[in-house]
Structure 1
Amino acid sequence: MNIAFCTRSDFLSVRGGDTIQLLQTRELLQNSYGANVDVVADPEKLNAADYDLCHIFNIQKIEDTKAYLTKCRTAGVKVALSPVLWDFSAVVSYTFMVKRLSACQLSERRIDLASRLLKLLAGVVGMPTIYTHNHREYLRQTLSAADLLLPNSVEEADVLARLSGLDPDELLAKTRPVVNAVTVAEPKPATDADFGVMNHLPSGYILQVGRIEPGKNQYSTVKALMDDGHLPILFVGNQRVNPAYFRVVEELGRRRGNVYFIDEVPHEHLPLFYRNAALHVLPSLGETTGLVSLEALGYGCRSVVADGRYCPFETYFAGFATPVDPLNYGSIRKGIFAELATERDMSAISRRIRQDFSWDKAAQQTHEAYIRLLVG
């Protein structure tokens, strides 16, 4: 079986969840199932006729996706899509609030007002594209053109139907969900440098791992615990994605006190931070999965996540973590304290995460979907 994995040109320099999904799936398809998988990061370099199937990852790169689809259709080659898509309207609206209006205070009313304003602007200038008719039509055409849809969850499939306006049953007929996965490795022994970092941190902190940016909503984590200064908060993540937002979060943390920031660290060092945390919190405004929360659970760290409007909660976190409304500071605070008080067998949860959300399982589901499409 010859397969082309078609992706964005910067998939290696700007590594996201789609990068990890592509590389891990490719390795296992080749090693465990004998498939030949080439990665194509430029539509101009795709010779679709050389392959039995073209698998496009992350349809948020609109022009690339259109070009890949055109080449596949011209060659008469079957197309699979891993959309990696959610309703990111809250992320777009809040980022607009922060960057253009210097407004970091979050509420449902504020997000609604920002969304309304952006829809008006999009109707005039065509930006942001997520609010335009053209974007909806793009989704309709792209999803209709695919022979196979491989979303990360049933919830993502529902979001795709809603955003595109397509018949959910039509999409469901060619949908085969493939779980997103995490690698939970055996923790490496802590080095002297690691102990040096940990010695400066109090134990039992509230941890949030991820880029410091509006969509990840670190401001709300601090705001929710503003009056609970006895609880340490630790942010581990890239501070240069949105420097202005980082400065606001940093200043709020300084006013609260007992808030710590560590810049992005190598992935293999993260288990050290999970092991020493009271819990991990991610009140994100949009996640196709929420891999860092899944990873935290895999290492036995309690987790608080955004509710099902903002991530596929039922597929990945039901029974494992506490959901919160990321637009409500009171909900985030209540969820943190509720999770801290909940009796959980974290060793059993860690085993379930490793079993249910492994790359072996993701590759198996992908391969079975390919066979079903090609063989019938």
Structure 2
Amino acid sequence: MRVLMQSRKTLFSVPGGDTIQILKTKEYLEQFGVTVDLSLNLEPSLEGYDLVHLFNITRPQETWTQARNAKRQNVPFVFSTIYVDYSEYEKYARTGVPGFFTRHLPKRATEVFKILGRVALNREMHRGLLPLWKGMTKLVQEICSDATGILPNSASEFERLKNDFVLNVDEDRITIIPNGYDEEIFSDDFDSITVNEELLKSVRGSVLCVARIEGRKNQHNLIHAFRDLPYQLVLIGTPAPNHMRYYRSILKDLPRNVRVIGAVPHEQLPLIYRVARVHVLPSWMETTGLSTLEAAAMGCNIVVTRKGDTEEYFGDYAFYCEPDNVDSIRTAVQQAYETPVDPSFRKHVMENFTWKIAGRMTLSAYEKALRSQE
């Protein structure tokens, strides 16, 4: 089987969770014998490919062009939606000029405004912008209508997608493929991991937040929650390119028990998670939070937002908070810190949410999609 994966043009210049999902899915599909290529072009030649796999609904004008290209060349495609809804953040927490517009524009107009903002800031001008005249809802409806299979990361993600874009999709075209963590990296084998002793000492017994530093991840409210807590908070991550003002604002008045240490090599994170006590990600929206999965796999208690799909992944094992409520974040952190880790939580994550499992499920979805074309 030969498959072409396609995604947004900024997949590597502005990497995100979708970048990891695509690369890890590709890696494990190749282990299962699938030939997988990756293209960020809008209209590549599909000669010799059995299937196209499209990712990410956040730039539907690009995905729609790629879907039209597959349809024109008579190659079936499946679609991993990766649909997040940041409208609550846009309405209540975004600041500056963008915040002014997003508070006063309708939801769909806000999404178009953000796309055009990226065009201006990141010089993303290309012909893939032209389909925007159709409107986001129409673009998403057409992509999903033409897809041979739709592969959301959770049932709740698909329900959100269906409701927000008024989709009428046959259930037999839906295959839920959860996000995962890399079990080969996040294991109990620490012999090959070298971490600076001072860094390791600073995170031992601490509360971690491993994420890009940006408004949507909500580090500002997290830091405020720690002003009255006796624990150490360590933020690991760098600011998103368009959130430098937010980054500077959180650095202005850090409490003594909060440290920001920037990026850490991914291969060092297993040992860092292991010596920490809690991982917290109080985002305005998460499909899962890949760092949360990694932390849970290494034995941390986790604090996560209720906004999004986290409860479908973590059930009663997690400690939940409301992102707009500092007291809620503080209480969840206290509970997570003072509660012993349940060993069955780690087992739950290891048995259900690895990239190897996701790769195997994706291959099954491919086979199902191709059978439907016979």
SS in 1 for 2:317: coil
- Return the alpha-carbon distance in structure 1 between the equivalents of residues 278 and 142 of structure 2: 42
1:238 aligned partner, one-letter code: T
Q: TM (normalized to structure 1)?
A: 0.85
Q: Is the 8 A contact 2:283 2:305 kept in 1?
A: yes
- What is the aligned partner in structure 2 of residue 360 from structure 1? 356
| 2:64 corresponds to | 66
Task: Please state how far the C-alpha of 1:21 moved relative to its aligned partner.
Answer: 1.9
Alignment partner of 1:212: what SS? coil
The corresponding residue for 2:346 is 350
The Cα offsets for residues 274-332 of structure 1, whole Å up to 9 and x where unpaired, read as 1232211100012222111111001101100001xx22123211132111111111111
- AA paired with 1:67? T
1:331 paired residue number: 328
Distance 1:148 1:75 in 2: 17
Partner of 1:143: 144
TM-score (norm 2): 0.85
Give, in angstroms, the shift of residue 101 of structure 1. Answer: 8.1
Structure 1 contact 281–305 (Cα < 8 Å) conserved: yes
Q: How many residues align?
A: 352
Confirm or deny: 8 A CA contact 2:70 2:76 kept in the other structure.
yes
Does residue 1:51 correspond to 2:37, yes or no? no
Q: In structure 2, what is the equivalent of residue 304 of structure 1?
A: 303
| Structure 1 pair 239–190 and aligned structure 2 pair: CA distance change class (3 A) | farther
* Contact in 2 for aligned 1:140/1:166 (Cα 8 Å): yes
Cα distance in 2 between the residues matched to 1:192 and 1:47: 44
Query: How far apart are the structure 1 equivalents of 2:245 and 2:9?
Result: 28
Q: What SS does the corresponding residue of 1:9 show, helix, strand or coil? A: coil
1: distance between equivalents of 2:17 and 2:289?
A: 9
Shift of 1:19: 1.9
* Per-residue CA distance 1:138-173 (angstroms, 9 max, x = gap): 222222221210011111101111220123xx2533
Counterpart AA for 1:206 = V
SS at match of 1:151: coil
Partner residue, 1:108: none
8 Å CA contact 2:87, 2:107 repeated in 1: no
Paired AA for residue 15 in structure 2: R
**Secondary structure of 1:252 counterpart:** coil
Question: Which digits, 9 at most, give the CA deviation of each residue in 1:77-106, with x for residues without a partner?
Answer: 2110001112121343456x323389xxxx
- Once the two structures are TM-superposed, the CA of residue 180 in structure 1 deviates from its matched residue by 0.9
Once superposed, what is the RMSD of the aligned Cα atoms?
2.7
Tell me, in whole angstroms, the C-alpha distance in 2 between the residues paired with 1:237 and 1:65. 29
1:102-149 deviation digits (Å, cap 9, x = unpaired): 9xxxxxxxxxx98542329948x952469x992222222222221210
Matched residue type, 2:253: L
Helix, strand or coil for the counterpart of 1:317? helix
Q: Which residue of 2 aligns with 1:166?
A: 167
Letter in 2 for 1:234: V
Q: 2:220 touches 2:250 (CA, 8 Å); kept in 1?
A: yes
1:192-341 equivalent positions in 2, closer than 5 A? 194-199=196-201, 201=202, 203-228=204-229, 230-239=230-239, 241=241, 242-253=243-254, 256-307=255-306, 310-341=307-338
The amino acid across from 2:77 in the alignment is: V
Asked if structure 2 preserves the Cα contact closer than 8 Å seen for 1:87 and 1:163, the reply is: no
